[in-house]
Structure 1
Amino acid sequence: MAERTQERERDRERERERDRALPRIRLDQPRIRRPRLLPEYDPEAFGRLSERIARFLGTGRFIVWMTVIIIAWVVWNIAAPSPLKFDEYPFIFLTLMLSLQASYAAPLILLAQNRQDDRDRVNLEQDRKQNERSIADTEYLTREIAALRMGLGEVATRDWMRSELQDLLKELEHREGERRDLFPGDHAHGSDVPDR
């Protein structure tokens, strides 16, 4: 029994030492930032810069400037005096510079395309939701118009009322005519008072 108690005490002491060695993590306080080996940058700003570069690389102006620089490079290294030449005939340095430019241009163009794909995906999702809302609205309006048409089928229109009144008037005139035929003397005197 005493051995177990001593063993528990040793375990508790080890836990206390470990707790003292490790900083206590508190959720109510911000974490202390560790120093980073890599420089920090704003991904959004870098993405915008890559899009601007990719847009420039896709223009005729870039091709013209690149052609002018390469021609000037080659002409200078062929026609200049030997001590002023910095890249002799096989133009190794020019090849290296073009490779360097291509190795940076390709990832920048891919980054710009990925950002454009993300924007297109968001726009496509918004368009899809808008189309769904438009379809739902159109279906609702179609149902409402159908209900109105069904309701109007039961409503008396002006033309129908006019034709019904004309029919009633004709029927009254016809009955009045029949009454005159049955009692010809009623209307001969023009008196409203009946005879006694």
Structure 2
Amino acid sequence: MAIDRTAERPAPRTRLDQPRAPRPRLLPEYDPEAFGRLSERIARFLGTGRFIVWMTFVIIMWVVWNVSAPEKLRFDQYPFIFLTLMLSLQASYAAPLILLAQNRQADRDRVNLEQDRKQNERSIADTEYLTREIAALRMGLGEVATRDWIRSELQDLVREMEEQRTVFPNGHPYGSDEGDR
């Protein structure tokens, strides 16, 4: 009687040293950075005079067309409910895009502030190090004979020798040693 060992064998183990295969996703994937850059571009455009001029032009044309055009060609009757709906739709998309752009700018500002803080800490540390080094050099120079100090000492010695010549004209400070011989 033959035993079938293939039916008893467990499923092959997943290797732990390799990443798992990506699972299928129901929602489409998007690049958050690309979406963020697009939102910043839109927010920058919404904050310009060009946008205000174009928006004003479109609204004026909308109103003029729907007031002065023949009844059959008007698409938004007075009190311009469709215009109000379009402006609300534009505002409902503009506000989150502007907030997203502001959040991204705040994140960049936070990173720049952190980098500036680290740079300031390094500058302060370097300044303190250089201050200590300069203080050590000054203390060391206080113990070193400088050219001016040596010159003043030599001048003092010359002055003393001249004073001894006037006090002891023979050249010996204690008189002559001829009598001692």
Tell me the TM-score range normalised by the shorter chain: 0.7 to 0.9
Name the counterpart of 1:91.
80
For 1:162-173, list aligned pairs within 5 A: 162-173=151-162
Deviation at 1:28, TM superposition (A): 3.6
Q: Aligned ranges for residues 51-90 of structure 1 at < 5 Å?
A: 51-90=40-79
> What amino acid sits opposite 2:148 in the alignment?
D
Distance 2:13 2:146 in 1: 84
* Mapping for residues 95-106 of structure 1, pairs under 5 Å: 95-106=84-95
Separation in 1, partners of 2:139, 2:22: 71
Q: Does 1:31 align with 2:20?
A: yes
1:134 aligns with 2:123: yes
Give the partner amino acid of 2:131: T
* Greater Cα radius of gyration, structure 1 or 2: 1
User: Which blocks of at least 5 consecutive residues in structure 1 are unaligned?
Assistant: 1-15, 187-195
Give the SS at the match of 2:92. helix
- Percent of counterpart pairs with the same letter? 81
SS in 1 for 2:72: helix
Task: Tell me which moved more, 112-121 or 171-180.
Answer: 171-180
Counterpart position of 1:112: 101
Structure with the higher helix share, 1 or 2 = 1
Corresponding position of 2:136: 147
Match of 1:45 among 24, 34, 41: 34
Q: TM-score, normalised by structure 1?
A: 0.77
Amino acid at match of 1:143: R
Deviation string, structure 1 residues 91-136 (Cα, Å, up to 9, x no partner): 1111111111011101100110111011000000000000111111
Runs of at least 5 residues in structure 2 that lack an aligned partner in the other structure: 1-7
